[in-house]
Structure 1
Amino acid sequence: MHDAYDVLCVGYGPANVAVAVAFEELWPQARVKFLEREPGPYWQRAMLLDGSDIQNNPLRDLVTPRNPRSRYTFTNFLHEQGRLFKHLNLPSHYPLRKEYARYVQWVAETVQADVDYGREVTGIKMDSSADGPLVEVTVADGTTYHGRSVVVAPGRTPNVPAVFGDVPAPHLFHTSQFLPNIADLERDFDGTLAVVGASQSAVEVVLDLIARFPAARITNVMTGFGYRLKDTSPFSEEVYFPEFVEYYFHATEEGKKRLRDQLRPTNYSAADADVVSALYMRMYEDELDGRERIRLATNRRIESVERTAEGVALDVTEHITGERERIHADRVVLATGYLDLGITGRTEQLPPLLRDLADVLGVTDDQPLSVGYDYGVVPHPAFEREVPPIFVNGLCESTHGLGDAGSFSLLALRSQAIVESLERRLVAEQGTADLVAAQAAGSEI
């Protein structure tokens, strides 16, 4: 018999840190192991830019919506760090991203969680024991862990469109790797840096680059006419309410598509007013001073990308006029977002770590991963009794709505749903196993 954990949790970013808090507060008896590839509990290290904020109310933290009396609230973090009154006095609507990263790290290190750092998970498959199906998780050095269930929270896969091919970093890279790939450039760097995209991340990167490298030229390539303001209407922001999750989950596929089309500007291809205004003011002042450091190459479609001796060349076409142009850059930053689960658009059929389970989970070219309301994976009916509980945490925008779009808004409530479902499933399963064993023992007397 395997010495199995009750739950194996892959990843220890904000999504699974919230799960760790939920285990401590809701089901402390569970034997849980967390596996994290990084050497510590870090969040968005590559995008902790000066002045950048988190874009959501700080009370939508890892625990407050579920348990505002918890020790692990953002408010209590500020109190324990001696910064509560200073923070309350800030002339800002949202906390700095740097401070929220420290909050996440503080919770991760304070909560009673069993974490193995520096463990990159390379595979997940099923195993079995006399007590029922198990999950086997393998890490890079060949070590295996066994559990009666697994919660997968590796973060979403960066979206790198096929046109960008195999141009290696640091010549071309995604924003998720931004700071490490510009760390070698000196402050007096006077080359050209291209940023692809028109999202919040894109404008943040443009502002960071021009401040970090005052002599550089920044070219921002985007498919639209210009930056659009994010829809922050309080009516639209109700997509981050728990009631919307239920509404969205039970909608038809046609209904889900209609909602996505309506609500896309609340999170995608748009930016907050503060950074848009800051960028426009910076460009205006540059024009006043007779210099052009930032160029917006708008309405451009990137046709091909080539690695050159000087850097990277982007062949682009202007949507309206049809004009063709070759843009040369020393480095290219992709602010192109992340993949979601699905089979159309910017999607992948299942998290890469679950690829070895595709058959038993019923995933095919025409069928993405099926996820239940409790974030538990629904296996193929033929294998239902053979598959231990598998949960996906923070990857379910296509089934549960924008609250799963890399946002903190519903982390606390999602972690509650996952932990309570795991307890129901595993305790009931163990109870059944104990009853069968007792009956078998009784029949031998």
Structure 2
Amino acid sequence: MKKDIYDMCGIGIGPFNLGMAALAEGTALNAVFLEKKEAFDWHPGMLLNGSDLQVPFLADLVTFADPTSPFTFLNYLHQKNRLYAFFFFQRLEIPRREYNEYAKWVAGQLSSCRFSSEATDVQYVDGLYKITVNQSETIYARHIVLGTGTKPMLPPGFHVSEDVIHSNFFLQHKAHLQTGSSIAVVGSGQSAAEIFLELLKEKEAHGYTLSWLTRAPGFSQLESGKLGQEVFSPDYVSYFKTLSYETRKQSLDELEHLRNGIDEATLKAIYDELYHRSIYGKDPHVHIQPLTEVTGFESGQLHCRQWQEDTSFDLPADRVVLATGYKPHLPDWFRRMKEEICWEDDTYFQIDDAYRIVWKDNRDNHVFSLTNLEMASGTAATNLGLSVRRNQVILNTIAGEELFQLEQETVFQRFSASPTQKSGK
């Protein structure tokens, strides 16, 4: 029986693989992208009114690769008759809700994107990837692009329940949270700050006590300096890849504030809200505390430890929001291949300069990864703008030719002591 063979199969349709599909649309590559959800929907639990992306609109799905593409954000605005409105909005950042609508608009135009289609199994057979879809259909592809994203990460001792949720599901559970007498938000990043601000503004209408805790030393502002932002550039990623494993690991810790800080506007809004409330005295029902890790939750009590003082205490809380980040989501079929893959450590698999996972059998047909990339791309692993550059590299590699030109020397800084960098991997 003749088999239909795709050049590439993207598994998972988040912003990264959706951008890949949009760029592939204008090429000769035969591609298909699979997503188990019914439609594109990007973190619906965090689409808070008034919240923006932390990157400018040029970091859309395609612009850095092809500003003339019909799938740019500017063309979306044009098609929706919102171009003048965005012009008078006078902001570089896209509202998060509008970014979601933009991505849905792109997905709706791409025949290569198949929703309600879960890759339930993948096997490498005779130089091809055999993909089982929804446990019944079989398709074949020469290459896989793994874009299964992340899943919520919970601190040890915590389990999701009606009263304990991850920030990713905040809006779905907001009404129930606000029926509690005391709400605790845990985390120090942008999501924690946005949720705390939203709950703070509506606190009087519901009468709850509100706490904000983080194990971080403080509530740090996102690096907004122009030179500081240049670590989110192709040049820095190229430099980062040359470093040894230990140096890359150390660098992730050193640059953490660049990725997980809070926008200046959000911090200002929180402080202004607190200040106006304090005119007639500080609100005793608002509690903010850094240097504090949470160790458990039971019977309306949040177990805490101020780690610098090594002092444990309990904080009243009958509702808890854990804005504690995410970890890579690697599907079961991928985990079954673990022994066939070369790993850097227990968490990160080896990835070459073209984002191909390194296999022990040195196969010619590859699995490209858009997830679990921190040790390959540094703090820019989840940056929306750099995801476009990554997609250019992958599509060029699969096509075996330069479909997209890759610009070099894109920033003013030089990160290496020598213009010629030698790999330290």
TM-score bracket, normalised by the shorter chain, equals 0.7 to 0.9
SS for the counterpart of 2:24 is helix
Report matched runs for 1:308-323 at 5 Å. 308=299, 312-323=300-311
- 2:213 and 2:373 map into 1 onto residues whose CA distance is 29
Alignment partner, residue 441 of structure 1: none
Residue 206 of structure 1: how far off its partner (Å): 0.6
CA distance in structure 1 between the partners assigned to 2:290 and 2:332 by the alignment:
34
Report the TM-score when normalising by structure 1: 0.82
**Cα offset, 1:278, TM superposition:** 0.9
Task: Verify the 8 A CA contact 2:245 2:344 in the aligned structure 1.
Answer: no
Is the counterpart of residue 378 in structure 1 residue 358 in structure 2?
Answer: yes
Taking a change above 3 Å as real, the CA distance of residues 210 and 236 of structure 1, as seen in their structure-2 partners, is same
The residue aligned with 1:433 is none
Does the 8 Å CA contact 1:125/1:356 hold for their aligned counterparts? no
CA distance in 2, matches of 1:364, 1:58: 35
| Alpha carbons 2:357, 2:368 under 8 Å: kept | yes
Tell me which residue corresponds to 2:149. 155
Of the three residues 282, 303, 313, the one matched with 1:325 is 313
Structure 1 contact 363–369 (Cα < 8 Å) conserved = yes
Q: 1:421 aligns with which of 388, 397, 400?
A: 397
CA deviation string 1:132-189 (max 9, x = no partner): x22233345444433222111011232222232xx23332222222222224456xx3
The residue number in structure 2 matching 1:10 is 11
- SS of residue matched to 2:154: coil
Please give the alpha-carbon distance, in whole angstroms, between the structure 2 residues aligned to 1:145 and 1:224.
47
Alpha-carbon distance, 1:316 to partner: 1.0
Match of 2:418 in 1: none
Residue 299 (structure 1) shift: 1.7
Aligned-pair distance for 1:364? 8.6
Partner of 1:402: 379
Pair 1:177–1:185, CA change in 2 (3 A): closer
Q: Structure 1: which 4+ aligned runs deviate by more than 6 Å?
A: none
Flag the 1:33–1:299 CA change in 2: closer, same or farther, 3 A.
same
Count of aligned pairs: 397
Superposed, 1:258-269 pairs within 5 Å as 258-268=250-260
Note if 1:276 corresponds to 2:267: yes
Unpaired stretches in structure 2, ≥5 consecutive residues: 402-425
Change (3 A) 1:367 1:115: closer
Flag the 1:316–1:63 CA change in 2: closer, same or farther, 3 A: same
Deviations 1:19-40 (A, max 9, x none): 1111112x2x332221112111
CA shift, 1:328, in A, is 3.1
Residues 336/171 of structure 1: CA separation in 2 closer, same or farther (3 Å cut)? same
- 1:337-376 equivalences in 2 (<5 Å): 337-339=325-327, 353-363=333-343, 366=346, 368-376=348-356
Residue 193 of structure 2 is matched in structure 1 by 203
Q: Is the 8 A contact 2:344 2:350 kept in 1?
A: no
- The corresponding residue for 1:436 is none
Q: Which secondary structure state, in structure 2, belongs to the residue aligned with residue 148 of structure 1?
A: strand
Match of 1:389 in 2: 366
Matched residue of 1:43: which SS? coil
Classify 1:34/1:295 alpha carbon distance in 2 versus 1 (closer, same or farther; 3 Å).
same
The answer to whether the Cα contact below 8 Å between 1:315 and 1:327 also exists between their aligned partners in 2 is: yes
Q: Deviations over 1:261-298 (max 9, x none)?
A: 33221112x21111111111222222334434431132
- Unmatched segments (≥5 aa) in structure 1: 341-347, 426-445
Q: How does 1:187-202 map to 2 (within 5 A)?
A: 189=179, 191-202=181-192
Partner of 1:300: 292
Task: Note the C-alpha offset of 1:91.
Answer: 4.6
* 1:176 maps to amino acid: N
Q: CA RMSD in A?
A: 2.4
Tell me which residue corresponds to 2:219: 227
Equivalent residue, structure 2, for 1:251? 243
Q: Tell me, in whole angstroms, the C-alpha distance in 2 between the residues paired with 1:418 and 1:369.
A: 17
Closer, same or farther: CA 52–5 of 1 in aligned 2, 3 Å: same
